[in-house]
Amino acid sequence: ILKNLRYCNLYGTFYICSRWGILFSHPADYTPVCTTELGMAAKQAPEFKKRGVKMIALSCDSVTDHNGCLEDIKDSSGEAGDWPYPIIADKNRELAIKFGMLDPEEKDKAGLPLTARCVFIVGPDKKLKLSILYPATTGRNFDEILRVIDSLQLTATKKVATPVNWTHGGKCMVLPSIKKEDESKYFPKGVETVSVPSGKGYLRYTPQPE
């Protein structure tokens, strides 16, 4: 668990290095939805690791609260042993303010805003690739987050986009910027062009590139 927020930016740089990273915040420790989310994130940690993604969480609680709540999370999720990702104790809301994570509708007992259910995915170039904001009453779907990471990592290096409801291994779409005469160069497995009333051949599918 990170204690020194002054060094968080520097720590984050070394923590992620040249890898992908995910930062996800939760409103508060000892709350029902957050407990289920952090437990599921731990269960899915091997999947994030397989994709080369470093995980890190954050809330406006203290280190003491984090450590205490972790015992509840481990018990309810069945995840024992060392916790697979660090949790930032942003009690003074320094990072939450910088990253725009505060939810004005959700407040603690002192009337201070809590962190929302944010998801930030960062690429190896340290640039934000995706941000998702969930309301406090809606738990996140970590299967969907992994699906998004699969798409981001694929499309970062291949000249394809992923269509609606795509999952790893499914057909991809050829980028509009790829000329017809260059299809075989980039897509040796072939390209299927779907006929549409407009006659414009922009709906082009190809098997997922290796």
The answer on 107 and 23 residing in a single domain is yes
pLDDT one-digit tens code per residue, 148-165: 999 999 999 999 999 999
Q: Which CATH number characterizes residue 179's domain?
A: 3.30.1020.10
| Within-domain flag for 135 | yes
Q: What's the mean pLDDT when you consider all of the chain?
A: 90
The answer on 79 and 29 residing in a single domain is yes
For the question of residue 34 being annotated catalytic, the response is yes
Encode burial over 104-141: b for 16+ CB neighbours within 10 A, e otherwise: eebeeeeeebbbbbbbbbbbeeeeebeeeebebeebbe
Catalytic one of 8, 34, 60, 69: 34
The answer on 166 and 128 residing in a single domain is no
3-state secondary structure 65-103: HHHHHHHHHHHHHCCCCCCCCCEEECCCCHHHHHCCCEE
The number of distinct structural domains making up the chain is 2
Whether the Cβ atoms of residue 11 and residue 104 lie closer than 8 Å to each other: no
For the question of residue 125 being annotated catalytic, the response is yes
Is residue 186 scored above 90 in pLDDT? yes
Q: Which CATH number characterizes residue 85's domain?
A: 3.40.30.10
Is residue 44 scored above 50 in pLDDT? yes
The answer on 162 and 137 residing in a single domain is no
CB 98: neighbour CB atoms within 10 A? 12
pLDDT one-digit tens code per residue, 1-29: 444 434 444 444 456 666 899 999 999 99
The answer on 134 and 166 residing in a single domain is no
pTM: 0.88
| Host domain of residue 199 | 158-206
Which pair of tokens denotes residue 37? 């989310």
